[in-house]
Amino acid sequence: MLWLLAAAGCEYTCGEEAIDVEFVPESLRTKIGCDTTLRLTFSPIEATDSKHLITIDAPIVRSLVDDLNATQTVGRAVPSHQPESVRDVSQRLFDEYTVDGGSVHLGGCTLEDRPILRVTYVDRSIGKARLCHHFINLTGEPIEESLVERLGLKQLVPLSRSIQVTDDQCVRWRHVGETAVEGLQQSAEVEVVLTTVVWCKYAEGKLAFVIKDATTSIAFSDWAQLFVDGSTKPPALACPSFPQGSCHLAATDDGEIVPIEAIATCSESGKRVIASDLETCNATGAKALPEFFSSCPASGVRVLRKVLVTCETCQQSVSPTSCELSQCSACRSLANVSKDDPRMARLLGEYPRLDRWSRWKLSETATAYVLVANSLVKRLLVVVDKNDLKLLRLAKGSQFTKKWTEALELDRSADLR
């Protein structure tokens, strides 16, 4: 009612039991049959004239509505409380973020008036006349009740600014409103009284984050009022390492701004990097950059290079987790091999004198063959590179001891070629 009076150009004060209209525009006075002032009461006992009692069907209410429909096609209103400036929204957004060693500012923001339609209708289907409001978007879809509450659509004031709308547009909106209510309740007892376009502020923009030389930005958009009352949180920054996102941001040493939860420190270099860029050492559990890692040739696991140990048999650098009694898993699992084995054939091709031995046992790592040749009394250990069959170790032993003695340079040709 107050909105209707204000929209018609009246000035008033509203008490608990009555509205005192202190000024009625001249054009309205004859239509509603009153003087320059008017008292409207909510109580039938106090009303001295049926015109001055506020009910849905009161002649004065009808006159005001008819006048508005005739002159403006649709009513125009705004929520009584909503953000009016970008600043109202931006400060609220900034407060949500913590930027370690940096700052957040607006990288552009617009506050646009977007229309929502309020269709006012009288429902007489339950006997007593009831005045209802139905809120819809421009395509006639209903606005959720919770959004109606949060946008303050139940406390409207007349639009004081001018927003350019064509007459055609107003007619279309009125039609959308009437159709929506018809779809809601098809009854002869439902009468659409008025469609009002409510202009709500919609915020759209980008937040820019700066930490030293690093920058990044996030786009945001929603009803401005929802950002201000906190029911819409500004978007969190996400990255593949922390897809759920966070509003607490920090920069890596390489100058990338990410959620702080996505940052970890390399145990070797002390560098702050994206956590997913770090590898975990299979032996110690430490997390470091891949450049500090090696693959164990015996077991294939990745370990920090500094924790590698030397296998006493093949003398390769292997993970401590694959070593037992100073022997790697390959050297512990030598298996009998015949000349038909393609690996053995390769070895005999390169080192034909190995053929003089009666039995061989072979094993391999990712990079080397480990071969032990046996005779009745003696043993020979041959470790060669798998790629080029280059000799890595040649040692001699006997069947009576596990010890190996390095072969002299002289023995190399005698034993192998």
Binding residues for Zn ion (CB under 5 A): 311, 313-314, 328, 331
Min separation Cβ 331 and Zn ion, Å: 3
Q: Output 182 or 324, the one with its CB closest to Zn ion.
A: 324
Q: CA 220, CA 170: separation in Å to the nearest integer?
A: 30
Min separation Cβ 383 and Zn ion, Å: 8
Q: CA 176, CA 181: separation in Å to the nearest integer?
A: 9
Q: Output 194 or 347, the one with its CB closest to Zn ion.
A: 347
Q: Output 246 or 313, the one with its CB closest to Zn ion.
A: 313
- At 70 the three-state DSSP class reads helix
CA 91 to chain centre: 21
Q: Are 19 and 12 spatial neighbours (Cβ–Cβ below 8 Å)?
A: yes
Q: Output 282 or 313, the one with its CB closest to Zn ion.
A: 313
Q: Which structure tokens are listed for 178?
A: 């009437």
Q: Output 234 or 297, the one with its CB closest to Zn ion.
A: 297
Q: Output 21 or 314, the one with its CB closest to Zn ion.
A: 314
Min separation Cβ 407 and Zn ion, Å: 17
Min separation Cβ 323 and Zn ion, Å: 8
Min separation Cβ 370 and Zn ion, Å: 6
Cα 160–Cα 164–Cα 167 angle in degrees, nearest 5: 110
φ/ψ of 308, rounded to 5, equals -60, 145
Please classify residue 82 by burial: count the beta carbons closer than 10 Å to its beta carbon, then call 0-12 exposed, 13-18 middle and 19+ buried: buried
Q: Which structure tokens are listed for 23?
A: 């000024």
Min separation Cβ 330 and Zn ion, Å: 5
The owner of tokens 């959620």 is 259
Q: How many residues does the chain have?
A: 417
Min separation Cβ 395 and Zn ion, Å: 12
Q: CA 60, CA 71: separation in Å to the nearest integer?
A: 16
Q: Output 225 or 327, the one with its CB closest to Zn ion.
A: 327
